[in-house]
Structure 1
Amino acid sequence: MNYIIKGNLAAFLCRECSEYLSQVRVRIYLPTSDINIAAVSAAEIKDTFREVSEEEIKAKQDRLIAEAETDINGNFSIEIDEKYSRSALEFDFYCGTVPRPPFPPKKGKARQFHITTFVPQWKIIKEQVYMANFSYIIPEKWWCLIKGRYFDVWTICGRLTDCKTGKPLSGVTVIAMDADFITDDELGTDVTDSNGHFKIYYSSADFKKTFLSPIINIETDVLPPFASGPDVYFHLEYGGQRFALETKADRRNNVGYCLCVKLCSKELIPVDPSIPPSFTHFGLTQHIPIQAGINLATGKTLGGYAFFSSVNLVGTISKKINAQPMEYLFEYQEVENPSDALNPAGWSPVVPNMIDKTVIGYLWTFTGDPSNPIAYEPYHINGTGTEKTVTFNGNWIQVPQDSNFAPHVDAEILKLNTEKLTGVTSIDMSMPTSGIGNSTVSGTRPHTSNRYFAVRMRQREAGNAATEVVAGTSKPIAIFNVLYHNVNKYGSWAHTTVNDQRIALSVDLQEIISGSSGCSKITTDLHVKYGARNENLGSVSLSIVGPHKPGQSFGFDPIVLMPAPETFGSTQLVFTPPTDTVADLLPCAYTVSISATALLTTGDGNLSSYHDFVSFCKV
């Protein structure tokens, strides 16, 4: 016959918080002959649970009849010999690790603890197989002491709810802080579950820190008694934003190995960022540093891009400076060359109509919905309608002072419309299609170069000019805002013109141009004429689509860019085999396409490719 004990070991950390004893060894012993079985099996935990000394372990080794290790959920299964099935059994567990998520189990000197004496109640589950169940939950005072004293694992168990509704707040990160004399330490974090529960594990190393750490680590209390536990208060984090649920004044002093808390939040008060208010980058996506990311010789990014259109100025703002409301201002200065020295007196303010609609932070509130506990409302510069919108003090942007306002940290703080700095230059590209393939620069279509602007941020206490400081100055950046109008498209075959082009790009065929109707058929000659204009051209390429004979291929040589502002010329097909000519093309329809790029960026996206094409028939 088989006699199997199925069991589970767990332990309380608080009355409403428990954990499984995973990776511990359950050891079953025969009791000594002089023990009062009825008395010990009925005894309370306070009278039975104790640590077993090494001498006792050695002394009872010959009474050990079985052992097994618990799984991650504290479960174990032990089969015992039939001859012990009618005996009472002593249960111990041998512990070399204790749980400490999200880190690996904390290891220490292995220790053994006696749980109780157990008389199995066997039930037959199938022929020749008997089973008894054993489960045990160690009281919190014992388990917290074992984890803390022997393994230096400290635990915070709690639940987070909405103070108004009492509903649990799920998916919110709870951050345990230690209020200290020199600096506040972050003990640990956990995300609340669907019922608002959280569990934070930490060690004494997380709160015994000084300015001399790691050489000297102590809990830096100011006055005696110098207790060893941390002084705990809590922050929250949701959607990447940190909130002060409590402050130092709310701290729980010198907490023990286990702390049990019930937290609720009435409102979300964002914590001021540790990053000082500053202007640091261009673009949220490309995140181009305002100094190291700009080539001083060209004013372009290190990738060779000039700026155009609307550019996100990225940085950090805070609600207050020196405990006073903050306001900030951007200024610009144009220079002739990007390497020119800036004039201290040459700055002009970025005025409100130069700023495109910008989100600079959010108002955070509880929804009362456990599945979506926190809602946010954007705060704008130049918002519209019912949107939350900042106010200006002249040209200074006043940071909102709402208690639940979270200002942007390393995010957009102003969206600069560079077209308001440079203006938009319009160039009329009207010309006969016969002009394609030739230079377009003329007195009426002059060479328009990049312009160069440095940008800087100033900040101050609201209305206090004496507190003004510069908080970030960029190198001069290249800006190009030119639009081309009446640009030829689709050659002479289906000729039209288009406006508002960032790249003036056209392609045509000389043989069609020379025809009377623009629909001349191709027989033996094909001369492709092209032109592309932009100060910051990145590439120009030609391609052709159409049928080919077996073993035949054809295309165009790469186009080499000319000096700014344009690339133009005429080219012909290159064949394989090289003895083939246009006369060897199959009689059919073909399309010649041209594409071009310009190295222009907003810091979040680059200018898209431009295209044109012309079709012809080979006879």
Structure 2
Amino acid sequence: MRFILRGNLYGLLCRENRIPVKNTIVRLYRYNNQDAVVAATNALPKELFQIYSKAEVSEKSNDLLAETKTDENGMYTFDLDGNKLKYDGGPVEIILYYPDVPDYGQANQKPHKNFKEFGVRLNIFQPGWRQTNDNNLYATFNYIISTKNWCYILSLHDLWFIFGQLTVCQTNTPIPGVTVTAMDDDVISDDELGSAVTNSNGQFIIVYTSKKFKKTFLSPLINVETPLFPWGNGPDVYFKYATSAGEFHKEPSSRGRMKDRENVGNCFCVNLCLEEGPLDPPETDVIPGFFKIGQNRAYHILNNIDSTTGRTMGKAVAGWNDLAFFSNLSLLGSLNKKINSKPLEYKFQYEEWNAPGGAVVTPWTDIMKPDIANTVIGYTQELTGDIFNPIKITDYAIHPHPGEMEVFFDASDTWVKVPQLSNFVVNTNGLLINLISSKLMSGTVNMAGLVPGNNAASVQPLQKNRYFKLRMIKREEGNAATETIAGTSKEIALFNLLYSGVPQRGSWLPGTSTERGVACLDIKEMTGSGCVKITNSLTVKYTAANPNLGNVRVTMSGPGGPHVFPAIAHDTAGEEAHGEVAYSGSVAALPNCAYIVYVHADLKLTNGEWTHHDIWDHMAFCK
């Protein structure tokens, strides 16, 4: 039975403005204290909130069920294999884990010199599981961290937030598209804290660290808020305002010495207004086109695709490179409402190649509406007259979710028609379509009969990536004569196959799994003998396979240790590893107890937002 827990996590700034807890490790632990669970249901959130040290987090390792990471919207998903984890749907504890400083919008994620790993307990609860037609159990847990607790978490990272809204004073009308720069009024020289561009609601968030306002004439050797050793330790904030045409307004620096701006804390909310907004710059046409894949990693369709492998390349983060693509892909670029002063429409096509730089297998084929997942391409704005919610925002989407409006296609379900409403605004994130790439390449490989330790090719031939070019075409609505190619990618490597019937848990508790690769093991000394004890030797038989295979490793948990196995080399580079590996230590010297061995296989796959998790198998034995 699979248990799937989903939700969104938010932090509350200044009691009213919530932001997603993004790019953050979330851990789920089994919680066996039933009395504490009952008490937790009646407790206030502040009574359950708890900071754990690194050592306290480590003490919980035996109860760890799963680990995941929130996306840019604070969304997370746990997919638990109840049989593998011996989990029956009972109470859980959910913890944010901070081994380092996540990307919360600050320019530099380097931890400050006094940073120590920590965890944050959000809640202890019994998920409300519900069964669906696929026989999986689903539950939802959404959580908003209170202002006090969220700002305390941020302070442990030395993160300082300014959340503001810029409006026209007399009408309270939001002013979008303005670069707001926060300054610290200082004795020696004013420090720039950071800047941000206001959104359609006039809102902005500036994130910085204390180094920004602790500069002195001795910086960077000595950083301290000047004057030296003040009673208050926060910045004294004033603001400057600019557009692409340059700075058009600046508050006097003395504004930072007023009571509401002096020595502000690390969570500072401010309402700003100007007597009038900036003069509108001359309109410039954005050239509609397709440029990147993935909102989070933004792989350029030419510069970040390897011409020889079809995999990713050229990113500063090493782990983002040498990856094939899988799952839904966000295709990004730029968009306009019009082209040649006429309504714009666009479509995407794919072309399959037998290899990068090889030959065409399938000529250019239209990507149709059913091949596209929910995609918000823009929104409308309406003044409501409500002082607290002055503007109503309505998203326009391909395959809209509830509350969104439909983006229409032409009669063939091929061309996306850009809405022409006067109050329609194209999204600044550049999302054009969310391509369901499994429509291009999918399938299942039956691995029934595979024996751990044997070559995966003994059951099925080693699987291969497939290669596709993607391109965008734009035109005046309904006018074929104006069709223009607006961006063509290199051949990208794609892999969406699932391996079914993969043996799991060896001779101990045989079963199977379905994953995007093969990772299985058995213990040689127990093969065909059932649940027998290990005495003087321990040999792990393993098989791992995927055309984008990364590191393969065998580990073991249990008393004693550290437990070490030799490094595993690929038998077919980047595709397959199999064989046997013996425990490096003395098996006879191990304490008499229960142990678990694991095989982990990294899959070098990305959807443009994150890298596919590793796949694994495990087996228990008694010494």
Place the TM-score, normalised by the shorter chain, in its bin. 0.5 to 0.7
Which residue does 2:420 correspond to in 1?
A: 401
Residues 469, 529 of structure 1: alpha-carbon distance in 2 compared, 3 angstrom cutoff: same
Give the letter aligned to residue 612 of structure 1: D
Deviation (angstroms), 1:341? 6.4
Which residue does 2:168 correspond to in 1?
A: 160
Are the equivalent residues in 2 in contact too, given 1:596–1:611 (CA < 8 A)? yes
Residues 346, 193 of structure 1: alpha-carbon distance in 2 compared, 3 angstrom cutoff: closer
Which residue does 1:277 correspond to in 2?
A: 288
- In 1: Cα distance, 2:349 partner to 2:400 partner: 21
Which residue does 1:593 correspond to in 2?
A: 598
Give the letter aligned to residue 421 of structure 2: D
Gaps of 5+ in 2: 1-165, 181-196, 204-237, 248-273, 314-320
- In 1: Cα distance, 2:589 partner to 2:615 partner: 31
Deviation (angstroms), 1:584? 2.1
Are the equivalent residues in 2 in contact too, given 1:270–1:404 (CA < 8 A)? no
Are the equivalent residues in 2 in contact too, given 1:315–1:409 (CA < 8 A)? no
Deviation (angstroms), 1:348? 1.1
Are the equivalent residues in 2 in contact too, given 1:190–1:199 (CA < 8 A)? no
Select 1:528's aligned residue among 534, 540, 546.
540
Structure 2 residue 303 is matched with structure 1 residue 292: yes
1:316-327 equivalences in 2 (<5 Å):
316-327=334-345
Are the equivalent residues in 2 in contact too, given 1:489–1:496 (CA < 8 A)? yes
SS in 2 for 1:383: coil
For residues 145-196 of structure 1, the C-alpha deviation after alignment (integer angstroms, 9 at most, x for no partner) is xxxxxxxxxxxxx9837xxxx85235756699xxxxxxxxxxxx999999xx
Which residue does 1:213 correspond to in 2?
A: none
SS in 2 for 1:574: coil
Give the letter aligned to residue 579 of structure 2: G
- In 2: Cα distance, 1:300 partner to 1:363 partner: 37
Which residue does 1:231 correspond to in 2?
A: none
Give the letter aligned to residue 490 of structure 1: R
Give the letter aligned to residue 408 of structure 1: N
For residues 435-484 of structure 1, the C-alpha deviation after alignment (integer angstroms, 9 at most, x for no partner) is 11101214x62222100000000000001111111110000100011101
Give the letter aligned to residue 296 of structure 1: S
Which residue does 2:498 correspond to in 1?
A: 483
For residues 189-208 of structure 1, the C-alpha deviation after alignment (integer angstroms, 9 at most, x for no partner) is 999999xxx998899x969x
For residues 588-616 of structure 1, the C-alpha deviation after alignment (integer angstroms, 9 at most, x for no partner) is 11111121111111111211111211111
With the length of structure 2 as denominator, give the TM-score of the two structures: 0.54
For residues 122-142 of structure 1, the C-alpha deviation after alignment (integer angstroms, 9 at most, x for no partner) is xxxxxxxxxxxxxxxxxxxxx
Structure 2 residue 434 is matched with structure 1 residue 415: yes
Give the letter aligned to residue 556 of structure 1: F
Select 2:352's aligned residue among 334, 343, 348.
334
Which residue does 1:544 correspond to in 2?
A: 556
Are the equivalent residues in 2 in contact too, given 1:167–1:370 (CA < 8 A)? no
Deviation (angstroms), 1:402? 1.0
- In 1: Cα distance, 2:549 partner to 2:489 partner: 24
Select 1:426's aligned residue among 444, 448, 455.
444
1:51-62 equivalences in 2 (<5 Å):
none
- In 1: Cα distance, 2:198 partner to 2:500 partner: 59
Deviation (angstroms), 1:561? 2.0
SS in 1 for 2:471: strand
Q: Which region of structure 1 is more displaced relative to structure 2, 478-487 or 563-572? A: 563-572
Are the equivalent residues in 2 in contact too, given 1:541–1:559 (CA < 8 A)? yes
Select 1:602's aligned residue among 603, 607, 611.
607
SS in 2 for 1:511: helix
Deviation (angstroms), 1:565? 3.1
Give the letter aligned to residue 473 of structure 1: T
Which residue does 1:221 correspond to in 2?
A: none
Structure 2 residue 375 is matched with structure 1 residue 358: yes
Give the letter aligned to residue 532 of structure 2: S
- In 1: Cα distance, 2:568 partner to 2:240 partner: 63
Residues 589, 452 of structure 1: alpha-carbon distance in 2 compared, 3 angstrom cutoff: same
Deviation (angstroms), 1:494? 1.7
- In 1: Cα distance, 2:242 partner to 2:552 partner: 60
Deviation (angstroms), 1:368? 2.7
Residues 541, 169 of structure 1: alpha-carbon distance in 2 compared, 3 angstrom cutoff: same
Deviation (angstroms), 1:407? 1.4
Residues 400, 307 of structure 1: alpha-carbon distance in 2 compared, 3 angstrom cutoff: same
- In 2: Cα distance, 1:296 partner to 1:377 partner: 41
Select 2:522's aligned residue among 497, 502, 508.
508
- In 2: Cα distance, 1:347 partner to 1:509 partner: 50
Residues 170, 276 of structure 1: alpha-carbon distance in 2 compared, 3 angstrom cutoff: closer
Which residue does 1:441 correspond to in 2?
A: 457
- In 1: Cα distance, 2:352 partner to 2:202 partner: 55
Identity level (%): 36
Residues 263, 440 of structure 1: alpha-carbon distance in 2 compared, 3 angstrom cutoff: closer
For residues 243-287 of structure 1, the C-alpha deviation after alignment (integer angstroms, 9 at most, x for no partner) is xxxxxxxxxxxxxxxxx96689xxxx9997743101000100000
Deviation (angstroms), 1:514? 3.2
Which residue does 1:86 correspond to in 2?
A: none
- In 2: Cα distance, 1:292 partner to 1:524 partner: 54
Q: Which region of structure 1 is more displaced relative to structure 2, 391-400 or 323-332? A: 391-400
SS in 2 for 1:419: helix
Residues 607, 272 of structure 1: alpha-carbon distance in 2 compared, 3 angstrom cutoff: farther
SS in 1 for 2:456: coil
SS in 2 for 1:353: helix
SS in 1 for 2:172: coil
Give the letter aligned to residue 298 of structure 1: T
SS in 2 for 1:416: strand
Number of equivalenced pairs: 370
Give the letter aligned to residue 590 of structure 1: Y
Q: State the superposition RMSD in angstroms.
A: 3.5
Select 1:568's aligned residue among 573, 578, 581.
578
Q: Where has structure 1 moved over 4 Å in runs of 4 or more? A: 170-176, 189-194, 198-203, 260-264, 269-274
For residues 352-399 of structure 1, the C-alpha deviation after alignment (integer angstroms, 9 at most, x for no partner) is 111111111111222333444333221111225563111111211111
Are the equivalent residues in 1 in contact too, given 2:175–2:198 (CA < 8 A)? no
Residues 464, 172 of structure 1: alpha-carbon distance in 2 compared, 3 angstrom cutoff: closer
For residues 284-330 of structure 1, the C-alpha deviation after alignment (integer angstroms, 9 at most, x for no partner) is 00000000110000011011100111100001111000110000010
Select 2:406's aligned residue among 365, 389, 403.
389
Deviation (angstroms), 1:513? 1.1
- In 1: Cα distance, 2:395 partner to 2:578 partner: 48
Structure 2 residue 462 is matched with structure 1 residue 453: no
SS in 2 for 1:295: coil
Which residue does 1:556 correspond to in 2?
A: 565
- In 1: Cα distance, 2:543 partner to 2:342 partner: 58
For residues 480-526 of structure 1, the C-alpha deviation after alignment (integer angstroms, 9 at most, x for no partner) is 11101111122211221123x112211110111131xx201111121
- In 2: Cα distance, 1:326 partner to 1:610 partner: 44
- In 1: Cα distance, 2:465 partner to 2:493 partner: 6
Residues 201, 603 of structure 1: alpha-carbon distance in 2 compared, 3 angstrom cutoff: closer
Structure 2 residue 387 is matched with structure 1 residue 379: no
- In 1: Cα distance, 2:167 partner to 2:407 partner: 36
- In 1: Cα distance, 2:202 partner to 2:448 partner: 66
- In 2: Cα distance, 1:574 partner to 1:175 partner: 59
Deviation (angstroms), 1:528? 0.6
With the length of structure 1 as denominator, give the TM-score of the two structures: 0.55
Q: Which region of structure 1 is more displaced relative to structure 2, 280-289 or 527-536? A: 527-536
Deviation (angstroms), 1:425? 1.9
Residues 175, 615 of structure 1: alpha-carbon distance in 2 compared, 3 angstrom cutoff: closer
For residues 511-560 of structure 1, the C-alpha deviation after alignment (integer angstroms, 9 at most, x for no partner) is 11131xx2011111211111111110111111111222xxx754101111
For residues 68-88 of structure 1, the C-alpha deviation after alignment (integer angstroms, 9 at most, x for no partner) is xxxxxxxxxxxxxxxxxxxxx
Q: Please tell me whether Structure 1 or Structure 2 has the larger radius of gyration of its CA atoms.
A: 1
